Chain A
């Protein structure tokens, strides 16, 4: 409000809310930055209003740097694994700005009708795409002055964490020669399997996989198993697809267990389709021990004890079965094991689940009835419940709810994506390489009955550290990964690395892991390199990532490093062709490494669904290929094509319900391609029975990695590690929009959003411990202790403390080091025994004032 201030002789604005009406004083306050000086003019009496005038304009600046200057290059983001489309403004070889790419569905919607509605070739999707804060901050990742600029060689033999590596800068040729020589020695000794290679799971993976194949190591492992393989295992077992996608937009009821899609964004269409789904009338319910920013948008937050989501789902199943609220048609025609499931949930009452979950029985009953009555329900679960030792079975219980209330692959439910994109070319190793390639993997991934092709990092490091496993590896390549921060139990990781003869890291930043390396090669950011990105929307879509600027320090892109090593080793395929020299598409030798990789990619695009060359892909609007066919629903009902049926083999009477259909006889390695339903040969679900499995018969004889029998029913068992008198709190972590994994904590724009990660604690717990917001405490577990700064909030379950993952670096860069808390050392290096999922959220702690 204004008052006339006699002293200063002019109307003065008073911002004290107490002076204004209590109701309407919607204060946003003002900045309270300290002033450098007071304005002397204040005492000079009433001043005259100046006549506004035009501001000076720098026309030359505009011509040089304005939007019309330079180029806007379409490419894909890689600030996280979401890979949304971006347009990058490049002037004079410098990235000026990054904006959304409107032609890329990943930036807009995962449903094709929504994407194509109002789409024009000139502009792209109707409302325009979006990019998240991380995508906007990519420039600071590229121009981070702390980046590694030259290859580094360790000269200090002491490889313990904290030891000064005494780096020596060496030339690229020296680095590649020396690394190749170490690889050659191994291979010549017939020990190619002793090379371990770990990488991200979506960046230049094919070329690394090919290298490992031709070199002869079975040990190419990827990031997924420290991410979401528990979810993959759960859905794969229940409905046959390891990554069905939630169609929020057309849903009436969205029930999320431990998923934070509007904040831990990943695919940037998620905030839009979630809020739009709500706008169209969907109810959003979020089950989570922490009131995530997604729960903040929900109609209801269900606060639950960690890792008890499975029990909640079983009790909901109990209500749905007991009250006969399930979708009878779907259950009858498209599921197996309903009888066993019904029996199993008979005693899983809401009262039973209340004791386990802390969710009131009445709430459970109501939620079950609500979701069962919804026309199209989206029931989903991600890494909240997934990263605990009982995550897979809990995920199965949740996935089965979806089947009970109306099934999959329909609008508004979880839809199986048509994954179409580039095709990984076939590459056969020489006989020698094949011999070692066939050896068991060092991480013993086969021990995990619902494991994933990405391997098991925790088992690999554990085996290495403790001299276990089938052989003793000597060398590891670690590309774009920071296991010292991203794997539970960094002490095990460090010990494992110390057992290697040679440890090579390729990264843009000198991470905690890089500091343990014998060689560090400077990596590229996504703005300096190529990739092909098959997007996670429900229909075919593939986009190009391309270098928009040259690598800043003249470094080789990661795939060029791979090819350069392959050339030094003269790796050949079984036809005797030097794989990393001859372009797979052109069939001709290509001297230039980048040129060779362009040909490699061109081959993948040409042989894949787009059926075009790399150059043609580049020329498409937004450099993205989008399948015009769009989203298809109820694909399980599709009748098999005539040509497939002609050569098909049936495992029973072709008219009998449930008969399996194979591409060739089962004993000759036939793959199941369909099932007989209602007398028709249809595609079915890609499960072992061809239908959604409420009971998995095939699991009866299986044992988990610890030798325990696997229950074919989704039983709830408490996770292995539960709170005790000594360690009374559950300790969890989560992701938010501001940062990606442990990679972005040196990015100043993202640090502006979130500069540290306080430990969130419920007021009841804080009172008991006599701590307040801002207090520093020790979090102690039997495995380690770390400091955390308390933030008291009712947003968390009273028995739980937790924080945003990613902080607590001791290296990475000047801004990142020493800020916030890493909780990795509170946990053992352990995975779930069914899927090999790293257990990032299973810890119990006690809290002691520091």
Chain B
């Protein structure tokens, strides 16, 4: 078995472990929440109201994901890879496809899952190196690759499985030095290549809401294509992105008009990603 093959198998194993873990840790409960109308009311009703700390912020970026529109195609997963040039085993977003436990036929429920950029992100205090933090300007939780040494405590701390570890593996188009190998990742506007010092090997990777597409003032512009890659490609148009501080944004309006939930509300993480049910 060549290295290539081994890497592939390992990567697949990692993913399978992840998925099996996901199914063990409560996707069933998720199904209950999504399906049982009565249970929804038991959750704290989701609201776009800002806490004291977010008031200072210029922007409060987040997503509203419509589960009824998500068809589970995973275009968002590949678009994220294409945008951020994430290597094998690194997934800044995934699509949960867990069987609805209430369904007698294992009907799956689809949910695109980016990082939730929580108001109270448990990953941040978990880092012994202060390499991950929530930006004051817009609430996006970032990783400072210059500080991250790959301890992965943040990976353990995230209750949503939103962080993955960059083991330094690469896709064949990179390892075999095709023209694509010279294309850097635009993450954090750092344009790192998969070689030498710039390689993010043994760092923790996560969704950045494609912040490299913001303008200098921190604004996105959908019409100019400066918009998170997952939201831009979504085949069901399920992923809404925007600024919760702006009452006229799509995301603010949707939260007002539609019933939504956040995952694991009881943990007090206050995700900035809501699901329409």
Contact = CB atoms under 8 A, between A and B. Distances in A.
Interface stretch (A142-150, A449-457, A497-505): A142-150
A283 to B, nearest CB: 14
Contacts of A91: 183
B266 to A, nearest CB: 4
Main secondary structure of the interface of B (DSSP, over half): mixed
Interface in A82-133: 87, 91-100, 122-123, 127-128, 130-133
B180 A265 contact: no
Contacts of A12: 126
Contacts of A60: 191
Contact of B161 (A17, A28, A755): A28
B235 A272 contact: yes
Interface in B111-161: 113, 122, 125-126, 128-130, 133-136, 142, 144, 146, 150-153, 155-161
A30 B264 contact: no
A17 B233 CA distance: 33
Interface string B227-256: 000001111111000000000000000000
Interface string B24-39: 1111011011000001
A67 interface: yes
Contacts of A92: 182
B246 to A, nearest CB: 18
A1 B266 contact: yes
A669 interface: no
A127 B171 CA distance: 33
Interface string B82-111: 110000110100001000000011111110
B49 interface: no
A33 B130 contact: no
A438 interface: no
Interface string B173-217: 100101110111010111110000000001000000000110000
Contact of B21 (A30, A39, A42): A30
Interface size class of A (residues with CB under 8 A): 35 or more
A79 B186 CA distance: 25
B164 interface: yes
Given A47-B128, A271-B236, A296-B107, A30 B158 contact: yes
Interface stretch (A48-56, A351-359, A721-729): A48-56
A263 B71 contact: yes
Nearest to A132: B75
Given A39-B151, A127-B237, A755 B73 contact: no
A296 B110 contact: yes
B136 A52 contact: yes
A271 B71 contact: yes
B108 A271 contact: no
A67 to B, nearest CB: 6
Interface size class of B (residues with CB under 8 A): 35 or more
Contacts of B213: 67
B236 A262 contact: yes
Contact of A737 (B22, B74, B108, B125): B74
Given A23-B32, A36-B150, A67-B213, A272 B237 contact: yes
B183 A20 contact: no
A814 B4 contact: yes
Contact of B71 (A99, A275, A301): A275
A4 B69 CA distance: 40
A92 B125 CA distance: 42
A275 B32 CA distance: 22
B46 interface: no
Contact of B179 (A93, A276, A303): A93
Contacts of B173: 139-140, 143-145, 748
Contacts of A96: 183
B172 A146 contact: yes
Contacts of B58: none
A738 B75 CA distance: 9
A737 B12 CA distance: 19
B77 interface: yes
B33 A128 contact: no
20 contacts: A2-B267, A10-B125, A17-B26, A26-B265, A28-B25, A33-B14, A39-B153, A40-B128, A44-B128, A62-B191, A65-B186, A66-B191, A66-B212, A96-B183, A131-B235, A265-B73, A296-B109, A749-B81, A794-B104, A815-B4
Given A20-B267, A93-B179, 10 more contacts: A26-B264, A32-B17, A33-B18, A56-B190, A58-B192, A65-B186, A97-B82, A99-B232, A136-B78, A750-B78
Instruction: Please provide the 10 A-B residue pairs with the shortest distance between their CB atoms, ordered closest to farther.
Output: A61-B191, A27-B26, A50-B130, A41-B128, A27-B25, A39-B151, A29-B25, A145-B176, A136-B78, A271-B235
